[in-house]
Structure 1
């Protein structure tokens, strides 16, 4: 997908790592001219490899986004992303990302054995990243947490804490403490971003009326504008692909 000189591409995660990774995606501005995009929350966090005409190669960890973010993409910039599901924070990164809400953290330039040569070919990068992540997945994973996230993602966030507790065999208190500790937001708040993610897909297809559990059209419009900064109709127009959400990038 190309928009105003910026090219986007996405590859879904291989089934072997799908419990931990949402997708791989890339953005490349080959115009030589700085461009502005507005990135929407997509309920994931990202590892980013990037290089542009002025800055050296770098790797960053980007935490959860909680609102739209206006970003400048420098000319002749290439960025590769790995979008992670939340369970990866504990089991792949062995850390909390609560302090990274709307923030970047610079990582070592050899993090997970990545380097500037990995920005040469996107398909090769995805294969390498998949193999690295396979090796990082631990054998001992709390099946209650695995079930918890399966239920959250399958419902697009339209599930109560009580139902999650009953089906995952975690208590409501354990779930809320886990979210606060590792992600810095409550489960209820996180589910809002999952609902918005699904709504963005619907709006992109011209469906401007709510399909998810919104009380009415006004409630739907308020929620969309609170997170995206614009109403559903303007989001649908999306001139020159100015509004970007990873889930809406076509596969391959």
Structure 2
């Protein structure tokens, strides 16, 4: 599998984390585990579609997808050769761009072609087909630069910035202070713009930070536990298992798979 991460236009950094592409000529079915990373996505498959196992049941996905926040790992399996690209969006961007209530899309990956929002339903026509990576990037940039002119403000901008800057370790009290809002309003806005509670979202970002520390290869497990803000090693292991289904000592951090591509920024 070839993974490619593409930086968006600098003026889109408030809305888009990155674009990514996946390509493989191997049609053999391969099982992939997807782990929460705190971002939503718009995904377009120009190769064969994937099967997904979410909430215990397998189903075949449609080619073009909207992926909301996930709070647990799930599985994907290719049905043939892979050709995919996606827009990995900042946490509140789908609400800012399209007015979606993200609580409705928690742990949901829904088809775009029949989406009730016509702007989203016709999104593939702006990008597909494309002749080169550069042409695709230009189309994506041009579309979202135009869309950003009508995007609504993000009332959680300062709160989210603190979550990321603290690697998920900021307290609810600190988040309320950063956003100049009550805890009740914070909870309500997170449900609408993110789909998760602020505490759980911060927990995902803290978990993601583990992968950055592992990638640096400069710290012991004890130091990683401390640096990532866990009470002790058992607390660290419980959280890691909750998000991955695996023990950190046996997890393959360098494996060339989807999960590591998305988590190793």
TM norm structure 1: 0.85
Tell me which of 79, 89, 94 is aligned to 2:84: 79
Task: Let me know the Cα RMSD of the aligned residues.
Answer: 2.5
RCO (CA 8 Å, sep 6+): is it higher in 1 or 2?
1
Determine whether 1:162 maps to 2:173: yes
Determine whether 1:65 maps to 2:70: yes
Structure 2 unaligned regions, length at least 5: 51-60, 114-120
Moved more, 144-153 or 53-62: 53-62
Instruction: Please name the residue that 1:23 is paired with.
Output: 18
Q: CA deviation at 1:46?
A: 0.4
Aligned partners of 1:47 and 1:223: how far apart in 2? 27
- CA distance 1:45–1:54, shift in 2 (3 Å): closer
Structure 1 unaligned regions, length at least 5: 1-5
Q: Which residues in structure 2 correspond to 1:1-252 (within 5 Å)?
A: 6-53=1-48, 58-108=63-113, 110-111=122-123, 113-118=125-130, 120-138=131-149, 141-142=152-153, 144-206=155-217, 207=219, 208=221, 209-210=224-225, 211-236=227-252, 238-241=254-257, 243-248=259-264
Aligned partners of 2:154 and 2:95: how far apart in 1? 13
The answer to whether the Cα contact below 8 Å between 1:147 and 1:168 also exists between their aligned partners in 2 is: yes
- Aligned length in residues: 243
Aligned partners of 1:123 and 1:170: how far apart in 2? 42
- CA distance 1:52–1:168, shift in 2 (3 Å): same
The answer to whether the Cα contact below 8 Å between 1:37 and 1:242 also exists between their aligned partners in 2 is: yes
Encode CA deviations 1:153-179: one digit per residue, 9 max, x unaligned: 222222122212222222221111111
